[in-house]
A and B are shown apart, each in its own frame.
Chain A
Amino acid sequence: MLKVTALQKIYNGGASAVEAVRDLTFELAEGELVCLVGPSGCGKTTLLKCIAGLMPPTSGTVELAGDSVTAPPPDMAVVFQEYGRSLFAWMSVRANVELPLKEKKLPKERRRELVAQSLEAVGLTAFADSYPWQLSGGMQQRVAIARAVAYEPKVLLMDEPFAAVDAQTRADLEDLIRNIWQRLGVTVLFVTHDIDEAVYLGERVLVLSSSPTVVQDDITVDLPAERDQLTTRQDERFTELRARVYAQIQQAKNSAAPAAAH
């Protein structure tokens, strides 16, 4: 479904060139939910933007369902890390969520339905007519999530979407994402800093090394499909996987340039 091959991205800003990503190769099967973890500044956002067709890679390719990605593909939604700047301050919450649907030329009835559903799902029904700047950071983040969910994408890219919400809301949103994923069969690539979250959410966890970035480890999460905040997190297998991801991240942080990726 989504295939990233030998992806390299060098930023050529001014005097110095920054190699954000060196050599990334991985693949997501259709309908897979994969979590991406890696040290801060290792190029996760860069990778997502290349996948989203917002930025051309320096070398390497991104393929979506067999087609090379050169522009933002239809049926893909991105939840940006800078959620505040990604919402349009001049539009109400409802209008923010509805705008992409309008561009998708959905009939009015359907749009209203999708907006209502997705705002309900993130618990913001009462704030539909507020403006984003009247909401807290966590609420803004949920608006951005609602917008992506309402879009009904085939591929969903999320860049630390739960960074600004409290633990309880976070747990609810995690279940929401799994629920949507199971219901709509969408392919999800989910960036997070939280190891527990990566293991709880993902079917697979990709660990990136620190810069120069390569895929350091690719861990299959063989937990049952039905997950529960309490029981899953107490599962012995959960603890093992968690420890493994933790060890990999430690290694990624410590070794500036890992000799062998994997």
Chain B
Amino acid sequence: MTKTDTTDAGPPPGAPAPRGRTRSGLGRALLGAAGIAAFLTLWEAVPRLGLVSDRYLPPATEVLGVLAQRATTPGFWAAVGDTLHGWALGLAIAFAAAVVLGFTLGALPRVRAFTTSTVDFLRPIPSVALIPLAVLLYGTDIRSTLLLVVYACFWLIYIQVLYGVADVDPVAEQTARSYGLGRLARIRYVVWPTTLPYLMTGLRLAAAVALILSITAQLIIGTPGIGQEIAIAQSSNAVAYVYALIVATGILGVLINMGVRVLERRVLRWHTSVRGEATA
């Protein structure tokens, strides 16, 4: 609960990480594809050569085959849908709550100081510690997933919003005031855009964490979704399907991350972290 606690979330002062240039984009993509191909070959070879028993690690082709085959069944997509539902709803609730509270408390320094110690206490509590509570309250209902997702994501975004709100340039603020912008207009035209880069960072972190937690909740509590499918596949000893589901989760994670990046790039066209590409 010391001051240093607040820094461990790693607020990137001023910004999301810099990105590669699009010019080298093609080379990069090729390199990435080659990397994946090498990885798959290795995965294929290890069980085939008997280095690891294929009871523990089925070869890549088998796993991908199972995945392709399952991808034609509605049950698989229902699980994906449930997972995404928990992910999106949880993230949305956390986002809305964090933005509203962050902006409100950011504007009320005294209230913020009053709540800081509580926030510093609640924030490090791992969401998974709430699993028994979730089960107690909601059983295997989707609300159990939501509880975990919202709890973890809320703090990630909330802290970023507080950093963002505090980062408003005094000269920009004074300019707005001298041109007669009222409180709401200043929030809309000055505070909000200043906070956006922080908010996007928070959102990017939270989007990944939300996926992790919705899978965790499904796996451990048994709320519907990919995690629950994994648990079922495991208990019925369908090893290849377990792997197939893990791969599916990975793909989902990659897609989500790409989506957030695209959003970030659009929303922050004007920001230093994106600018280079816009002008290059």
Name A residues whose Cβ lies closer than 8 Å to a Cβ of B: 49, 52-54, 72, 74, 76-78, 80, 82, 85-86, 88-91, 99-100, 103-104, 131, 133-134, 147, 151
Contact = CB atoms under 8 A, between A and B. Distances in A.
B179 A90 contact: no
Given A133-B275, A134-B279, A88 B189 contact: yes
Given A85-B172, A133-B270, A74 B189 contact: no
B185 A78 contact: no
B180 A78 contact: no
B179 A54 contact: no
Nearest to A55: B174
20 contacts: A49-B174, A52-B178, A54-B177, A72-B177, A72-B178, A74-B180, A76-B178, A77-B179, A80-B174, A85-B169, A88-B172, A89-B270, A90-B193, A91-B270, A99-B189, A100-B179, A103-B180, A103-B181, A103-B182, A147-B179
A78 B193 contact: no
Interface in B235-280: 270-272, 275, 279
B171 interface: yes
B47 to A, nearest CB: 53
B270 A90 contact: yes
A134 B270 CA distance: 10
Prevailing SS type, chain B contact patch: helix
Give 4 closest A-B pairs by Cβ, nearest first: A100-B179, A85-B171, A90-B193, A86-B175
B56 to A, nearest CB: 53
Contacts of B271: 89-90
B190 interface: yes
B11 to A, nearest CB: 19
Most A CB within 10 A of own CB, among B174, B178, B182, B185:
B178
A86 B172 contact: yes
B171 A80 contact: yes
A88 B190 contact: yes
A119 B178 CA distance: 20
A91 B179 CA distance: 16
A104 B190 CA distance: 17
A72 to B, nearest CB: 5
Contacts of B178: 52-54, 72, 76-78
Contacts of A74: 180
A90 B177 CA distance: 17
Nearest to A52: B178
